[in-house]
Structure 1
Amino acid sequence: MHNNSSNGQRVGTSAAAAGDAIVIVGAGIIGLDVALVLAERGLGPYITVIAEHLPGDTAATYTSPWAGCNFSGISGNDKNALKWDRLGYTHLTKLASEQGDEAYIRRTHSVEYWDEHVPHEKIKAISEYLEDFRELPSHELPPGVKFGISFTTLTLNAPKHIEYLFRRLKEQYGVHFVRHRFPTIQAAYASPTTKVVVNCTGIAAKTLPGVEDEKCYPTRGQVVLVKAPRVKRNIMRHGRDYETYVIPRPGTDGHVILGGYMQKGSSDGSTYSYETESIVNRCLKLCPELQQFDIIASFAGLRPSREGGARIEREEIVIDGKKKVLVHNYGAGGTGYQAGYGMALEAVSQVDDVLRDLERASRRARL
C-alpha cells in the first residue's frame, strides 16, 4: 500500500499510519458512501480508500460516472431494497436542502409510468415517504401505460456528485485516497495496522481473487447526453423489454440524460448509433419539452448487478495467521445512488465492535 495517493501522501508511513485502520476497496458511489458514513462518525483519519479508478476518471467498468441519475421506483421490492431506498431518500433530500448546488443534487418533479407488471407493494412502501406523492388518474396516462405516479425525486449530476464526495471526504474529513489495483482482496491487508477491509469492488467482485462471486454480472446501459434547457422534470417509463427515461442534470447549462437500456449479462462498453436513435425516439414520445435539443455525446456503462440482490456481509479471514474482518458491499446494479447510503449504514453496522474500539482510541488521542 505504499503507493502515492491523490493528495500526495503515502499510506503506510507514520504520517498516515492511522489511515490504514479501515481500508475501503473501490471508489464508486458505494465505496464513497461507506467512507461518508464512517467519516460522519469521526473516523475520517482512519480511512484509506484504495481503487483502480477515482472520481474524475472514466472507464466502462467504473460505473458511477455514467449514471442518469435519480431516485425512482426501478429498484427491487424485497425488504432490503425497501429499507435502503427509504434511508437513501432521507439522506439525499437532506443533502439537497443543505448542500444542493455544491453536491450537484436537486429536488425535481418526477413522473413514472408502468406498461405492465406494476409493483404495487413497492409503490405502497415508497408512497409513505416520497414528497408530493400522487397516483395518476387514468386520463393522465399515455396510451399503453397501465399505471403511473408523480412525486418529488432527487436528480443528481453523477460525475460531479462523486467528485464532490471525493473532495469533501479528503478536505473535511481527512480520508486518504490511493490509486491502486489489488491482485487479491487479501492484498488489501498489506498494512499490519489494518483492522477492517470493506469490499466495494462492484463488477470486479466476480473476478477478484478472494471474492470471485459467480452471482455477479454486468447489466449494460447506454445513455445519450443532450442539451435541452426546456426539460425541467424527470420522466421514466418501465416497459416490457425497455427502460426509457429523461433526467435533467443539476449544475449544468440545460443538460439532460436520455436513456436507456438494461442489457443483462452484456459487458460491451461500446456505444451504437442505432441505440442512440432508439433512445432519442422513445424519449421524444415521452417528453414533449424535448422537441428542441442538441446531442452532446453517447455513453455506455456496466451496472454491477448480482443475482439475489446486493451482498452486504461480514466475513472473518485469516491473514498471516491472524483473524481479520472483511465486509462485502457490492451488487447494487442500477440503484447505487438511491440505495448506496442505506447500504453503507448496513455495511458499517456489521463492524460496530471494531469501530467502537477505534472511536475509543480516537477519543483518547484527542485528550
Structure 2
Amino acid sequence: MAPSHESIVIVGAGIVGLNTALVLAERGFGKLITVVAEYLPGDTSATYTSPWAGCNFSAISGTDANALRWDRLGYAHLAKLASTSGGEAFVERTPSIEYWDEVVPHDKIEFMSGYLEDFKILASTSLPQGVSFGVSFTTFTLHAPKHCEYLYHRLETQYGVRFVRRRLPSIEAVFLDPESTKVVFNCTGLAARSLPGVEDSKCYPTRGQVVLVRAPQVNTNIMRHGKDYETYVIPRPRSKGHVVLGGFMQKGNGDASTYASDTASIMSRTKALSKEIAQAEPEILNVAAGLRPSREGGARVKRENVSVVGKGRTLVHNYGAGGTGFQAGYGMATDAVDCIEDILFEIGRGSRARL
C-alpha cells in the first residue's frame, strides 16, 4: 500500500508533539504525517500546558545525560530560529541572569557553559542576599502561545502536515488505519497517566501559577532557584511589553485554579528580584495556572512494539518533559525520530516508488 497521511501519526499538539512533527517534516515526511489532538494551538485548557509557559531557556532542567543532550540540541535549534525566523517564530535572544540559593548543579552549569552565548559566572560580591551562586548568559525567550501557532501553521502550509481534532479513547485508537499507519508517536504529556494502553503511573502534574503583566521597561530574563520555590521574570517577544512573572513548582498538585495569595507572592518576589520590575508598578493583565506534564525519572523517549488488530506496529513514547518542553522538546523529538530510522527508510522507499 502506498504511503499516505496516516503512515505516521502523532498524538498530542503541545510543544513536544509539534517539535516531533517538525523534525519528521524537516526530513521529508511532512505529507505522511497526521497530528491528532484534543487541543490545537490557539486553544486554552489547564491540561493543554504549552500555551501557559513563560517561556525561556534556563538551567531548570535535569542533570542526567539525556537532559544535557536535549538542552544542547534545543539551544542550537532556538539559536537558528532566532537568527533566521525570530520575528515570525516569536523567539528572541535575551540577556539572562540565574541565581541559586542553595543547591547548585555545578556539573550541569559547567556543561552548559560550553555552548551558552556570553556565559559568565557572577562575582560573589554582586549576588543578592541569600544567593550562593549566579551566572549570566544569553538565553532565548519565546512567546509560548504564538510560537505554538507559528509551528502549527508552518507545519500545515510549508510541509503539508494534517491536523485532526479528536479525543482518543485509547492509544490503540491512534492507529487510524491498521493497514496504513506504520508508527505512532505518543506525545500526550500528562494524559499519558490515564490514557488506556499507556497508563504510566510515573506521570504526575506539577502546578504552576503565573501573572502576565505589562512592563515595557523589562528587557532581562531573571530567575532565582530556591529550595521550595522558583521565581522568574520573562519578557515576551513581540508582545508590546508583556512579561510573565512566576511562579510555583508544586509537585503532584493538579489544582488548576488561581489564588490571590499566590499572585501576591509572585508580585512580591519578582519585585524583590528584578530592578526592572521594581522601577514602575506593572499592570496585571491576566493570572493563569497550568499543570506541567512531569514524570518520575524524567521524560520517556522509548520505542515499543505493539499489536493492532493482529498486526505488528510501532509506538514511540515521547512525553514527560515537565516544565522543560520548549527547551528540551526539539532534542527529545530528535531522539524519538532517530529510533525509527528503519521504519522511516521503508516508508520513504514506498513514497519514492509511488512517485
Give the TM-score band, short-chain normalised.
over 0.9
1:76 to 62, 65, 68: 62
Match of 1:20 in 2: 6
Q: Which residue of 2 aligns with 1:312?
A: 301
Q: How does 1:287-302 map to 2 (within 5 A)?
A: 287-291=274-278, 292=280, 293-302=282-291
Out of 243, 264, 277, the residue aligned to residue 230 of structure 2 is 243
Is residue 324 of structure 2 the alignment partner of residue 341 of structure 1? Answer: no
Q: 1:230 aligns with which of 213, 217, 224?
A: 217
Specify every segment of 5 or more residues in structure 2 that has no aligned partner in the other structure, as ranges.
Answer: none
Q: Which moved more, 1:286-295 or 1:297-306?
A: 286-295
Q: Percent identity?
A: 64
In structure 1, what residue type is equivalent to 2:312? K
Query: What CA deviation, in whole Å up to 9, does each residue of 1:216-244 have, x standing for no partner?
Result: 00000000000000000100000111100
Aligned to 1:41: 27
Gap change, CA 1:26 and 1:160, over 3 Å in 2: same
Q: Does 1:119 align with 2:105?
A: yes
Question: Structure 1 CA distance, aligned partners of 2:329 and 2:107?
Answer: 21
Question: How far apart, in 2, do the equivalents of 1:17 and 1:270 lie?
Answer: 45
Q: Is 2:250 the partner of 1:263? A: yes
Residue in structure 2 matched with residue 330 of structure 1 by the alignment: 319
The residue aligned with 1:218 is: 205
1:136 matches 2:125:
no
* Alignment of 1:171 onto 2:171: no
| Cross-structure match for 1:5 | none
Deviations 1:185-236 (A, max 9, x none): 0001131210000000000000000000000000000000000000001000
Secondary structure of the structure 2 residue equivalent to 1:283:
helix
Query: Do the aligned residues in 1 keep the contact of 2:3 with 2:347 (CA within 8 Å)?
Result: no
User: C-alpha separation between the residues in 2 aligned to 1:267 and 1:297?
Assistant: 20
Partner of 1:108: 94
Counterpart secondary structure, 2:66: helix
Secondary structure at 1:267 match in 2: coil
1: CA distance between counterparts of 2:78 and 2:84?
10
Contact 2:3 2:351 in 1 (8 A): no
Matched, 1:355 2:330: no
- Residue 361 of structure 1 deviates from its aligned partner by 2.3
Deviation track 1:236-265 (CA, whole Å, cap 9, x = no partner) reads: 000111100000000111000000000000
Q: Which amino acid aligns with 2:137?
A: F
Question: TM-score, with normalisation over the residues of structure 2?
Answer: 0.98
Residue pair 2:213, 2:286 contacting (<8 A) in 1 also: yes
The alpha carbon displacement at 1:290 in A equals 1.0
Q: Secondary structure of 1:334's match?
A: coil
Asked if structure 1 preserves the Cα contact closer than 8 Å seen for 2:6 and 2:176, the reply is no
Shift of 1:350: 1.2
Structure 1 stretches of at least 4 aligned residues deviating more than 3 Å after TM superposition? none
Q: Secondary structure at the match of 1:250?
A: coil
Q: Distance in 1 between matches of 2:214 and 2:23?
A: 35
CA drift of 1:128 comes to 0.4
- TM normalised by structure 1 equals 0.95
Any idea what SS the aligned residue of 2:92 has?
Answer: strand
CA RMSD of aligned residues (A): 1.1
**Structure 2 residue aligned with 1:9:** none
Map Cα deviations across residues 312-346 of structure 1 (whole Å, 9 max, x no partner). Answer: 11100111111000000000000000000000000
* Rounded Cα–Cα distance in structure 2 between residues aligned with 1:267 and 1:52: 19
- The count of corresponding residues between Structure 1 and Structure 2 is 352
Shift of 1:17: 7.0
Matches of 1:177 and 1:305 in 2, distance apart?
25
Which amino acid in 2 is paired with 1:345?
T
Task: Judge conservation of contact 2:11–2:184 (CA < 8 Å) in 1.
Answer: yes
Q: Residue 116 of structure 1 aligns to which amino acid in structure 2?
A: E
Tell me the distance in 2 between the aligned counterparts of 1:42 and 1:119: 39
Q: Give, in whole Å, the separation in 1 of the partners of 2:131 and 2:327.
A: 25
